[in-house]
Structure 1
Amino acid sequence: MRYLHLIIALAAPLVAASACRPPKWRVGQTVQTSSGAVEGHAASTASEVSEYLGIPYAQPPVRALRFQPPVRYNGKGKISGKSFGPACFPSNISAYDADFPQELIDVYGITEVGRRILATITNPGIPVSEDCLTLNVWTKPQTGEKRKPVMVYIHGGSFVSGSSAVPAYNGQFFADEEDVVLVTINYRLTFFGFPGNPHGHQNPGLLDQRMAVEWVRDNIASFGGDPKRITLFGESAGGASVDHYSFAWPHDPIVAGLISMSGTASGITPRPASLATSLWYNTTRALNCGDAHTPPSTQLTCMQSIPAPALLATLLNTISAPHSTPYSPTIDNHLVFTTPSHHPTAPLPLLIGTTDNESGLFRIFVPPQPHLTPHQETTFWHAQNQINFVCPAAARANRSAAEGIPTWRYRWHGVFPNTELARTPPSGAYHDSEVAVLFGTVDGSVVGEVEGQREVGGYMRGAWAAFAREPWGGLEGGGGWPRYVAGEETLVRLGWEGKPGASVVRGDFYDDGC
């Protein structure tokens, strides 16, 4: 093992590019887009950043457009840009208001910070609607490069919850500190995004993501972004979406780089078509829209006419079990494949990683099993880490590196008082614990930052932005991150001992059982 502080050299590029700034940029100025004229405003904290919220990129997927591929939104009117668009419908709205069970709070020693974190999983206070296909942009064109690298973030939520309006994903600090344009998107979730209709489109939610990327390609230059330097990144279901994207559009990816955080196409297992079909017909029967013997066009028309709340009432409640994904990408062998490793992927630089204890989040949703000893439970959850996250990430990184594609792999170890979830056992660096640190949006209202925490987040933002600035070598040339090789010291540990920089170990150091 060796320890080194790999500091990303950003100052020189920014100074060199200053001569290329736009002649004038007024914070929040109106920007002309294919969706219309979008009015902006100053971000809440980073007041030199222009924030544009709730921009429609696709027509409302309602009535005849429900369960269909997205249709591009073109508009000539004004868009206020003041508020996030509604979240896309989850599987069960009533679960949004459910309190986390007190008995599990007691059993696992869930902290006050942890209770706040758990509350955010179900997007409290965020409106929901079937008309939800919007995106958000943060930019600071008055400084730095004239055409900045662009980072498009896909949120997680097990494909059944989540929203670009979640406070953790606010992009103002990325745009303020790293000279990038940051974009977050909504996409259809649960049955609306992954309906399972055997005679229709299986994965509209993934097509939404693609259309959002197309919108960015066509419009981001007006916000100071470089359409040739778009990096697609996401966490959990978002990380899996990034991976699916690379297989779905191998020859026309649009984007220049991929960052997959705690999620791969094979780790967050896609649904077999048979399961998707079964869930589709379960719902059609419940809504009196027929079954497998009903003419497909008649059935679809019926399903498109059902009010959304009535449809939602028939779905499985998945919010209370975020590790279960009955509504998720479906194997159609067009966008989603039975064995992704047998299909080509976009030959793009890849940054991929996991947290040190992914199951630290999922474990607390499951009551302790009385027939298991503590050691057996620990062994079980470690195996879940390996099966669902670590080994799939290792396989994806190994494939990318073997094909000669620049590949970097990391593991998140950061544990801080204001991100602590549970104590019995300690949740450690659990699934999703790095996201708010990365975005600089950790809630410090209960427990403030500790020494070095802000620097850890700043270091990560610098690394992610260095990758976006030059995916083929920015991490390597800017700060010395080694390209990933399984048998060499190339796996970068982030947040190690709560310090900025990186501790580097063998690439396969954590790959037991793989």
Structure 2
Amino acid sequence: MVSINSFSRIVATFVLSIQAVSSRPHWQSKSDVDLSISTTSGRLQGIINGTTPNVRQFLGVPFAQPPTSNLRWMPPNTLPSNQSSAIVDAKKFSLNCPQYESAIPTIYSTYVREFFISGPSGEDCLTLSIWAPLHSQPEDKLPVVIYLYGGGLQTGGSSVPYQNPAKWIERTQSHIVVSIQYRLNIFGFPNAPGLESQNLGYLDQRAGVEWIYENIAAFGGNPEQMVLWGQSAGAISTEAYNFSYPNDTIVKGFICDAGSQLAATSIDDPTYSNFTFVASQFNCTGSELLPCMRKIPADDIEDFLKSYNDAFASPALSFNAVLDDKIVFPNYTQ
């Protein structure tokens, strides 16, 4: 775990790096902009929009295989080795990970829609999005902010408008931001019988960080100068990451914004009652429970959770981080 003094030095170094890079002029013309970048996911075709014309955006970049069919409720699987030769359209966000918006109105859903995801959801969602300065090159070695969105591990995505960092990059031209998508609610934290790993959303986050470390230099980033920054549930995820990989963090610092693993909600349900209850609604039981549930459309599962929870039905259902003594621990003071 990173000490307070060490973290202070990391943050100071990160800020000084941004200041140093921002003081350097960029002499390239816009005709020199590279919107085609080779990565382990393929050759990405990015975009520049009119709102932030000095920012290259590479959106919806896959970092793992789609967690569908037999890969549903499995740890993230790496992309096949021949994926690097593919051409990837990275001009728009991918699907958001499966989730639902309650029909019960709130101040957010009524007046602050920019806090909600844009676009549809679906299981082919293990992607990340990259915002880089217009002319950043591999030799620039810019500091990198890796962002984990909030939403209670129930909602969220890279497409949430208020979390879009494009204007930040437009202003500074001195660092890179990457947002990682990860599985949520019953798909990310199922606590289902027969699974070796229950905190799949947290494993998705780790897989995303590993992809960034391997590929970010091509965008002008420095893989040895990355900070993991999470907001709310993303902050809880960030702290969980720190505890989970104390000797192999990859990143050099952590920013926990409005959340802590020390005060987080976690599930300790050895009978798997939440998952089996949902499965029973689709007539999935016994030894065929998981194979059966893997055949149920994700939308049908989310629709059931929405109608059930909006009705305040009993028993209450919760799909959250699971105590496993690997990623989520019962005691953080020992």
Instruction: Confirm or deny that 1:285 pairs with 2:294.
Output: no
Relative to structure 1, the CA distance from residue 253 to residue 55 in structure 2 (aligned partners, 3 Å threshold; closer, same or farther) is same
- SS in structure 1 at match of 2:131: strand
1:13 aligns with 2:5: no
Which of 112, 123, 126 is equivalent to 1:130? 123
1:30 to 1:100, Cα distance in 2 relative to 1, 3 A: same
Alignment of 1:206-355 (within 5 A): 206-274=202-270, 277-290=272-285, 294-295=286-287, 298-315=288-305, 326-342=318-334
Hey, what's the Cα distance between the residues in 1 that align with 2:18 and 2:225?
Answer: 19
| Cross-structure match for 1:183 | 178
Q: How does 1:44-63 map to 2 (within 5 A)?
A: 44-63=50-69
> How many angstroms does 1:10 deviate by?
7.1
8 Å CA contact 2:17, 2:142 repeated in 1? no
Amino acid at match of 2:142: K
Contact 2:17 2:143 (C-alpha < 8 Å) held by counterparts:
no
Distance 1:11 1:61, change over 3 A: closer
Residue identity matched to 2:277: N
State the distance in 1 between where 2:331 and 2:152 align: 20
Contact 1:139 1:175 in 2 (8 A): yes
Check conservation: 2:136, 2:219, Cα contact below 8 A.
no
Aligned AA for 1:41?
Answer: I
Cα offset, 1:128, TM superposition: 0.7
What secondary structure sits across from 1:129 in the alignment?
coil
2:157 to 163, 168, 174: 163
Q: CA deviation at 1:43?
A: 3.9
Structure 2 CA distance for aligned equivalents of residues 231 and 303 of structure 1:
37
Question: How far apart, CA to CA, are the structure 2 residues paired with 1:143 and 1:55?
Answer: 19
Task: Give the Å deviation of 1:251.
Answer: 1.1
Q: What stretches of structure 1 move > 6 A for 4+ residues in a row?
A: 8-11, 21-25
Where does residue 10 of structure 2 map in the other structure? none
The answer to whether the 8 A contact 2:115-2:161 is kept is no
SS at match of 2:294: helix
- CA distance, structure 2, for counterparts of residue 35 and residue 217 of structure 1: 13
SS at match of 1:314: helix
**Residues 1:151 and 2:141 are matched in the alignment:** no
Structure 2: segments with no counterpart, 5+ residues: 1-14
**Identical counterparts, % of pairs:** 32
Residue of 100, 108, 120 corresponding to 2:105: 100
Cα displacement string for residues 374-422 of structure 1 (whole angstroms, at most 9, x for unaligned residues)? xxxxxxxxxxxxxxxxxxxxxxxxxxxxxxxxxxxxxxxxxxxxxxxxx
1:340 positional shift: 2.2
Distance (whole Å) between structure 1 residues aligned to residue 31 and residue 224 of structure 2: 22
Pairwise CA RMSD of aligned residues?
Answer: 3.0
Unpaired stretches in structure 1, ≥5 consecutive residues: 1-7, 102-109, 343-514
The number of aligned residues is 311
TM-score when scaled to structure 1? 0.56
1:12 and 1:55, CA in 2 relative to 1: closer, same or farther beyond 3 A? closer
Provide the residue aligned with 1:85 in structure 2.
Answer: 94
Q: Which residue of 2 aligns with 1:415?
A: none
The residue aligned with 1:502 is: none
Question: d(CA) in 2 for partners of 1:214 and 1:329?
Answer: 21
Distance (whole Å) between structure 2 residues aligned to residue 12 and residue 309 of structure 1:
46
- For 1:248, the aligned partner's letter is S
Q: State how far apart, in whole Å, the 1-side matches of 2:187 and 2:249 are.
A: 25
Q: Deviations over 1:432-461 (max 9, x none)?
A: xxxxxxxxxxxxxxxxxxxxxxxxxxxxxx
1:451 corresponds to: none
Post-superposition shift, 1:15?
6.4
What letter corresponds to residue 159 of structure 2 in structure 1? A
Aligned residues of 2:55 and 2:131 also touching (Cα < 8 A) = yes
Structure 2 vs 1, CA of residues 280 and 12 (structure 1 numbering), >3 Å: closer, same or farther? closer
Please say which structure displays the higher CA radius of gyration.
1
- Distance in 2 between residues matched to 1:121 and 1:24, nearest whole Å: 33
How far apart in 1 are the matches of 2:254 and 2:310? 28
Equivalent pair of 2:130/2:179 in contact (CA under 8 Å): yes
